[in-house]
Amino acid sequence: MRIVVLSRNPHLYSTRRIVEAGKKRGHEVLVVDHTKCDLVIEKKNPQILYKGKPLEGIDAVIPRIGASVTFYGAAVVRQFEMMKVFSATESQALVRSRDKLRSLQILSRSGLGLPKTAFTNYSKNVKNVLKIVGGAPCVIKLLEGTQGVGVVLAENQNAAESVLEAFNGLKARVIIQEFVKEAGGADIRAFVVDGVVVGAMKRQAKEGEFRSNLHRGGSAQIIELTDEEENAALKAAKVLGLGIAGVDMLQSKKGPLIMEVNSSPGLEGIEGATGKDIANAIIRYIERHV
């Protein structure tokens, strides 16, 4: 097969591993920068030009779309779909998962556990908004934030009100969530491929930090999920329509609480923590569907 990996940087760990795994299984794998693609929209003849030449004879595409270029990246994936090319992550699922508010609403409707969350239209009554999620401490998140950027733990009522007022003043869209103390600064990342959890790790925040992201100095170790955690991860990926997903959960007294579902989860942390060949699982997923 000819497989295209949509990535802006061929040297990133995840991109390199997918290319290696594809070649190892006898496929031709091309890395294409989606921001440099030109889309030609014509009756019954959709095309994608890359560096001035049409991309032809492609069997499958693996989107590795950064959050900052979701709009254009999704348009490129949609164009591949119009050309009858299989996408490991569908364009609609990509857009859906990148909208934090929309994805939380879909997960909630499906009966999945979530931290109690509030969202308002820049309400000036910040005391009432905070009361909805149980007051301070609470977590305030920018809707567009990724990798822990734009996530604030407000430890007391005054701090929470000040942060919320500041974001509102800047017209920055945020959600407010209850702080799950018993999680102890740790979360679980379950990596789902084609309806199967192919790896899971527990990420622990470094001392003095509540965000467990590995980019922020957190550590990770392999974990065996409970049946409830595994079912929650699989259901979350399914209801958002994602064939590949990184499902982030908190362990709480109420059971697993889903924080976020990532449509372009990184491979470095999960492969390092579990020792599993996740890239190979992604290539096999494509082989089963093309």
Is the pLDDT confidence value at 208 over 60? no
C-alpha dihedral sign at 53, 59, 64, 67: positive
Mean pLDDT of the 137-141 span:
92
Query: What average pLDDT does the chain have?
Result: 92
pTM, to two decimals: 0.90
**In this predicted model, what pLDDT tens digit does every residue of 227-258 receive, in sequence order?**
999 999 999 999 999 999 999 999 999 999 99
Which residue, 165, 161, 191, is CA-closest to 17? 191
Query: What architecture (CATH level 2) is domain 2-96?
Result: 3-Layer(aba) Sandwich (3.40)
Query: pLDDT digits over 75-101, tens only?
Result: 999 999 999 999 999 999 999 999 989
The whole-number pLDDT of residue 271 equals 96
The percentage of the chain sitting over the pLDDT mark of 90, rounded to a whole number, equals 80
pLDDT of residue 185: 82
What superfamily in CATH does domain 183-277 come from?
ATP-grasp fold, B domain (3.30.470.20)
DSSP strand pairing (244-252 vs 186-193): antiparallel
Report residue 267: phi and psi, to 5°: -95, -25
The answer on pLDDT for 6 being more than 90 is: yes
Residue in this structure with the two tokens 């991309």, named with its chain if needed: 55
For domain 117-179, the CATH superfamily is ATP-grasp fold, A domain (3.30.1490.20)
Average pLDDT over residues 16-40: 98
- In the predicted model, is pLDDT for residue 34 greater than 90? yes
Q: Which of 145, 143, 181, 138 is nearest to 160 (CA)?
A: 138
**Helices in the chain by DSSP H: which ranges?**
13-24, 70-82, 91-98, 100-109, 126-132, 157-169, 227-239, 268-274, 278-289
Show me where the domains of the chain are located.
2-96, 117-179, 183-277
Phi, psi of 234 (to 5 degrees): -65, -40
Please state, in angstroms and rounded to a whole number, the distance separating the CA atoms of residues 177 and 25.
Answer: 44
Q: What is the pLDDT of residue 124?
A: 86
